[in-house]
Amino acid sequence: MVLRYDSPHLNIAEVACLYAGFLGLGTLKAIKQQRRGSETLSRTSRFGKEPLKIVSWWILGVALTYVIDIANLVIYALRTPNWWPHKSSVVCLVLSLLFWGIVLISCTDTSELPRYADSFFSAYRVNVLYAWLTEAVFESVFLALTPIPGDTFQGILMADHLARLLLCLFAFAIYVTYRRKRPSRDPMDYEERRMFESSNQLDPEFAQEQSSQSLPNAKKNGSKKPKINTSWIAYFKSFTILFPYLWPVKNFRLQFHVFVCVALLVVGRIANILAPRQLGVVTEKLSQNDNGVPWLEVFLFVFYRFLQGNMGLIGSLRSFLWIPVSQYAYRALSTKALQHVLNLSYDFHLNKRGGEVLAALTKGSSVNTFVEQLLFQIGPVLTDLGVAIIYFFIKFDVYFSLIVLVMTLCYCYVTVKITSWRTEARRRMVNSWRDSYGVQNDAIMNYETVKNFDADDFENHRFGDAVDAYLRQEKTVLSSLSFLNIIQGGIFTTSLCVACLLSAYKVSYGYNTVGDFVVLLTYMMQLQQPLNFFGTLYRSLQNSIIDAERLLEIFQEQPTVVEKCDATPLKVTEGRVVFSDVSFAYDPRKPVLSNINFVAEPGKAIALVGESGGGKSTIMRILLRFFDVNNGSITIDGQDVRDVTLSSLRSSIGVVPQDSILFNDTVMYNIKYAKPDASNEEVYEAAKAAQIHDRILEFPDGYNSRVGERGLKLSGGEKQRMAVARAILKNPTIILLDEATSALDTNTERHIQASLNRLAAGRTAIVIAHRLSTITNADLILCISNGKIVETGTHEDLLKHENGVYKKMWLQQANKDPSSKKFSVE
């Protein structure tokens, strides 16, 4: 009796314990990590670099004992007539070798893993120690039950068991001792010490270290930076905020489409079994040669073939039905993303570069693509492989399943590795292409300079070098593609060869029929075609994940100014604006406004003047609640701006900014933007009041003239009067004016001033004035310096202060601009 090869139960128990424990620990770790919501677990439960090297050698040793075991078995089986080990024992031996292979890879392959694979496939100490311990326990049982060796074969087997037991026991013992002996100040030891502390709580010392690390970052960003967790559970969970936009919640017809598509996927898998199976049936019928022509069988086979593949009936139907689902998701996601971004606070828009946000938003379809690739491409390929493993087990033999399993793992691993490396090479190739393009572009754009310096040859050489660099990278990319294809082909062909030989052997000895051989061969070959694009699929899946992550980051960004749940619409009765003791800072380290107190009485004009950077625009921003004040309050007719809805607040206030930016559309569209349901007559009235009507009529297409990108086709004065017209059309009780800084010609200025006066009439107006000449009539002037109100009063009052800030500014401006002399106070 040869225990190892004749005791299926023990063998199965061993393999089951190894795999279940390893995967179970992976899941547990992921859950734990997700609860902590941080990366601490992965940082503290991995091996250090040096121990990892030793551990890897040890694992290699264990794996080698299995190689010896398998070789011993093969030799013995070949030499012993009428003896064959139990099937499950062979399978378990191969699976054990595979297991240690996986553990070894997890130790040696320390490259960054995608987050979703991290918990399972990284060398976590717990996993490796668990594997050693489990192996040691089972080996002890094997040894205890194995009789004294009677021949060389049993001797080798016994020695193998013993070697494995000692390797695992020693490894475990040495690791634990080594860990204890390390001085506690060593950072590595600190990490390792934490490994066995299974408590769920975060070490306070460590937590502090963590928070102190993140503090400057938080300060720098101003707003809460979203964080994508590294645990795969947390990682996928973070994507769930996007799912409501992917799933057609209220549209039952689309839900039905999704349901049918998934059903078609299942039918597709079945068709993939039916087609080779049917070919087997046809072969059987034909080889029997006594039932006439198997018309029906052949017809069925052709029909199944017609159903198969992405271009077959099922695939095409599925693609067709998926169109509206995909379009729905695209619309829902991209409109929601834009809405979300528009809803974000002012500081987000100030901090983020517009291009970046736009780039992330245009990748709105990436989440779609990701789901589609997973559902319709990678998913089916992996399912087909899984189905093959089960089908072969039921229909033929567990050995065939084993072949497909080992092939799948090797194929996927090697493909992912080579593809990741190729992706890097590709990036280099694209960069060098961009470089060469840049050189070319430079030369053409600077044609004159090139000619002046007679630098044709120089430019030609420069371009030639850049092209050479690009070609070198391209060569790497192309040749690595051939390399990948050869390796993939090699792995697939080897498994096909082993499977075919085994099947041929079985057919020859009458265990299987010729039909079975055909089924096996056809099914295996069928798998090859989609597997051929596995690398490409993996690469595009990676890309769409990265794009989706960017989109997710935007979705996770929260506005810093939020409406209260019980916010009520602002009721403007008179338009009295009161600032009480307001202090504000964009960054806590640099106060911008301190203790601002003033009342803008209904129907009166109040002017803010003062040095640049003093905080005038900030006063407007906090009144519009783009930011919340740090201290004090701002009320409009007795209602705090923080208690009212944002839209009612902003719709009650009209703003004429310093530099009005218009939409690239017609004049009419731009003025109507303030009140889309306004009639044309109302627009004309507003334009007349803003003193721009006549000018608009002089344009070639009148109100239908286009204003150009950002209103570039209009002059500064025209743009500002358009903005005034808009504000008049909006008809708010309160208006905020930020005057243009640039000096305009006297005529234009008079027009603008007149239009502004019309706008301000009867409303509460808060005006930021850069040229004091424009606000001499204001009811109240506030001089702002360094975030404080330093002087208040009317123009006449303020000029009476001999050394006053206002008077100084007045005199300065009067000297600079003789035209303003006309405003001097006689």
Q: Give least dist CB 654 to ligand GSH, A.
A: 56
Please, are residues 314 and 271 in contact by the beta-carbon 8 Å criterion?
Answer: yes
- Residue 786: left if φ>0, alpha if ψ -120 to 50, beta else—which one? left
Residue type present at position 392 = F
Q: Does 483 bind ligand GSH (CB under 6 A)?
A: no
Q: Does 488 bind ligand GSH (CB under 6 A)?
A: yes
Q: Which stretch binds ligand ATP (CB under 6 A): 24-32, 265-273, 613-621, 751-759?
A: 613-621
Q: Does 169 bind ligand GSH (CB under 6 A)?
A: no
Strand partners for 738: 768
Q: Does 762 bind ligand ATP (CB under 6 A)?
A: no
Q: Residues in contact with ligand ATP, total (CB under 6 A)?
A: 11
d(CA 523, CA 52) in angstroms, rounded, equals 41
Residue type present at position 534 = F
Among 367, 484, 687, 696, binds ligand GSH (CB under 6 A): 484
587 binds, among ligand GSH, ligand ATP, none (CB under 5 to 8 A by kind): ligand ATP
Q: Residue 596 — φ and ψ, nearest 5°? A: -90, 125
Please, are residues 204 and 538 in contact by the beta-carbon 8 Å criterion?
Answer: no
Q: Does 532 bind ligand GSH (CB under 6 A)?
A: yes
Q: Residue 746 — φ and ψ, nearest 5°? A: -55, -40
Q: Give the residue carrying structure tokens 């992912």.
A: 416
Q: Which stretch binds ligand ATP (CB under 6 A): 70-78, 196-204, 273-281, 586-594?
A: 586-594
Please, are residues 823 and 773 in contact by the beta-carbon 8 Å criterion?
Answer: yes
Q: Give least dist CB 432 to ligand GSH, A.
A: 15
415 binds, among ligand GSH, ligand ATP, none (CB under 5 to 8 A by kind): ligand GSH
d(CA 314, CA 308) in angstroms, rounded, equals 7
Q: Does 612 bind ligand ATP (CB under 6 A)?
A: yes
Q: Give least dist CB 813 to ligand ATP, A.
A: 14
**Residue 434 or 808 having the CB closest to ligand GSH:** 434
Q: Give least dist CB 538 to ligand GSH, A.
A: 7
Q: Give least dist CB 426 to ligand GSH, A.
A: 7
Residue 790's closest CA among 609, 638, 622, 640? 609
268 binds, among ligand GSH, ligand ATP, none (CB under 5 to 8 A by kind): none
**Residue 540 or 645 having the CB closest to ligand GSH:** 540
**Residue 540 or 753 having the CB closest to ligand GSH:** 540
Q: Residue 48 — φ and ψ, nearest 5°? A: -75, 170
Q: Does 17 bind ligand GSH (CB under 6 A)?
A: no
Q: Give least dist CB 79 to ligand GSH, A.
A: 41
Q: Which stretch binds ligand GSH (CB under 6 A): 159-167, 246-254, 478-486, 663-671?
A: 478-486
**Residue 407 or 634 having the CB closest to ligand ATP:** 634
Q: Does 414 bind ligand GSH (CB under 6 A)?
A: no
Number of neighbours of residue 62 by Cβ within 10 angstroms = 23
Q: Does 277 bind ligand ATP (CB under 6 A)?
A: no
Give me the 529-548 binding string for ligand ATP, x by CB under 6 A, dash otherwise.
--------------------
Among 27, 288, 485, 529, binds ligand GSH (CB under 6 A): 485
Q: Give least dist CB 616 to ligand ATP, A.
A: 4
**CA 84 to each of CA 5, 76, 80, 146, 397: distance values in angstroms, whole numbers, following the listed order:** 9, 9, 8, 18, 15
Footprint of ligand ATP on 340-369 (CB under 6 A): 350
What DSSP string describes 211-267? HHHHHHHHHHHSSPPP---SSHHHHHHHHGGGHHHHS-SS-HHHHHHHHHHHHHHHH
Q: Are strands 653-656 and 734-738 parallel, antiparallel or unpaired?
A: parallel
**Residue 441 or 493 having the CB closest to ligand GSH:** 493
Q: Does 613 bind ligand ATP (CB under 6 A)?
A: yes
List alpha helices for 453-604, DSSP H. Answer: 456-508, 514-531, 534-556
Number of helices (H), then strands (E), belonging to the chain: the values are 33, 10
616 binds, among ligand ATP, ligand GSH, none (CB under 5 to 8 A by kind): ligand ATP
Among 618, 764, 773, 774, binds ligand ATP (CB under 6 A): 618
Q: Does 219 bind ligand ATP (CB under 6 A)?
A: no
533 binds, among ligand ATP, ligand GSH, none (CB under 5 to 8 A by kind): ligand GSH
In this structure, the dihedral spanned by the alpha carbons of residues 639, 641, 643 and 647, taken in order and rounded to 10 degrees, is 110
Q: Are strands 631-636 and 577-584 parallel, antiparallel or unpaired?
A: antiparallel
Q: Does 221 bind ligand ATP (CB under 6 A)?
A: no
Q: Give least dist CB 487 to ligand GSH, A.
A: 9
Q: Give least dist CB 534 to ligand GSH, A.
A: 5
Number of neighbours of residue 549 by Cβ within 10 angstroms = 19
Q: Does 477 bind ligand GSH (CB under 6 A)?
A: yes
Question: SS3 sequence, 735-749?
Answer: EEEECCCCCCCHHHH
Among 83, 178, 243, 533, binds ligand GSH (CB under 6 A): 533
Q: Which stretch binds ligand GSH (CB under 6 A): 126-134, 159-167, 263-271, 483-491?
A: 483-491
Q: Residue 559 — φ and ψ, nearest 5°? A: -65, 145
| C-alpha angle 502-505-508 in degrees, rounded to nearest 5 | 150
**Residue 577 or 619 having the CB closest to ligand ATP:** 619
Q: Residue 576 — φ and ψ, nearest 5°? A: -90, 125
Q: Does 230 bind ligand GSH (CB under 6 A)?
A: no
Q: Does 337 bind ligand ATP (CB under 6 A)?
A: no
Among 190, 433, 437, 586, binds ligand ATP (CB under 6 A): 586
Q: Give least dist CB 427 to ligand GSH, A.
A: 12
Among 615, 654, 711, 717, binds ligand ATP (CB under 6 A): 615
Q: Does 487 bind ligand GSH (CB under 6 A)?
A: no
Q: Give least dist CB 481 to ligand GSH, A.
A: 5
**Angle at which helices 456-508 and 398-445 pack, to 10 degrees?**
170
Contacts of 234 (CB under 8 A, 6+ apart): 30, 33, 34, 37
d(CA 406, CA 397) in angstroms, rounded, equals 15
Footprint of ligand GSH on 246-285 (CB under 6 A): none
**Residue 614 or 732 having the CB closest to ligand ATP:** 614
Residue 706's closest CA among 698, 714, 717, 716? 714
Q: Which stretch binds ligand GSH (CB under 6 A): 202-210, 532-540, 594-602, 620-628?
A: 532-540
Contacts of 181 (CB under 8 A, 6+ apart): none
**CA 691 to each of CA 176, 530, 688: distance values in angstroms, whole numbers, following the listed order:** 87, 69, 5
536 binds, among ligand ATP, ligand GSH, none (CB under 5 to 8 A by kind): ligand GSH
Lookup: tokens for 824: 């001097």
Residue type present at position 148 = I
Burial 15-30, CB ≥16 within 10 A → b, else e: bebbbebbeebbeebb
d(CA 236, CA 697) in angstroms, rounded, equals 58
Q: Give least dist CB 309 to ligand ATP, A.
A: 57
Residues that bind ligand GSH (CB under 6 A): 415, 477, 481, 484-485, 488, 532-536
The residues binding ligand ATP (CB under 6 A) are 350, 586-587, 592, 612-618
